[in-house]
Amino acid sequence: EAGARIGLSYAGEVLHKRVMPLAQEIGCDFVEQCDVTQDEQIDAVFEKAVQHFGKVDVLIHAVAFATREDLGGRFVDISREGFKNTLDISAYSLIALAKRAEPLMKEGGSIMCLTYYASEKVMPKYNAMAVAKAALETITRYLAVELGPQNIRVNAISAGPIKTLSAAGIPGFRTMLKLSEKVTPLRALVTQDDVGDLALFLASDAAKMITGETIHIDAG
């Protein structure tokens, strides 16, 4: 609606069936598979993006993964392999994507990622993902400093609880959702549209002096 040409990527066939209806709804003709743990797949999707778009102005990092075992249970029981996978997919991938996007943002650009309040305070059962989100916010600040001279801004959006596919994997999420509506100052839940509005602002010239920030959108 704001005039952007949008490209989408997905990891694996399971998510393909969820992404395609969205692509059709918004008239997106660029949909590519991209497993962010595979450098060759990241390279391939950016090469195709150059051929398709010519350049990239905005990059949205909306990637996170942790096994159910590493979300529930005791924090000290997080597996070594699960920890590494969670950090690789949920945090390091922002570095890998920003590295490929930088040369395509010749006129500057905006990079965004999605984080959560568990990066700052202990949230029961969030475990490995909380560590990943804390790492993601630190990466956001470091990238903001490094890419700033190229007029590339990097920010993190920290949204309140929203009923999404990812949220469904968090133990006790329904209870959190009910309580949030009762205790937030605005007595309301954040919607996907609310987050979209913030992302649109950060993508626009109206946010040209905002970088390295974690911006909370959580009804207070």
Annotated catalytic residue, options 10, 92, 117, 126: 126
- Mean pLDDT, residues 110-119 taken together: 97
Residue type, 148: G
On whether the CB atoms of residues 157 and 192 are closer than 8 A, the answer is: no
Average pLDDT for the chain: 95
pLDDT range class, residue 178, cuts 50, 70, 90: confident
Instruction: State the pLDDT at residue 170.
Output: 72
- Residue-wise pLDDT for 14-71, tens only, equals 899 999 999 999 999 999 999 999 999 999 999 999 999 999 999 999 999 999 899 8
Q: Is residue 92 annotated as part of the catalytic site, yes or no?
A: no
Helices 39-53 and 93-101: angle between axes, nearest 10 degrees: 30
Q: Can you tell me the distance from the alpha carbon of 220 to that of 218, in angstroms, rounded to the nearest whole number?
A: 5
116 is catalytic: yes
> Residues 71-80: what's their mean pLDDT?
93
The Cα 114–Cα 191 span in angstroms is: 14
Residue in this structure with the two tokens 């974690």, named with its chain if needed: 214
The tens digit of pLDDT for each residue in 131-173 reads: 999 999 999 999 999 999 999 999 999 999 888 777 766 777 7
**Residue 200 CB coordination number (10 Å):** 15
pTM: 0.94
User: Considering just the CA atoms, what is the radius of gyration of the chain in Å?
Assistant: 17
Q: Band of the pLDDT at 210, cuts 50, 70, 90? A: very high
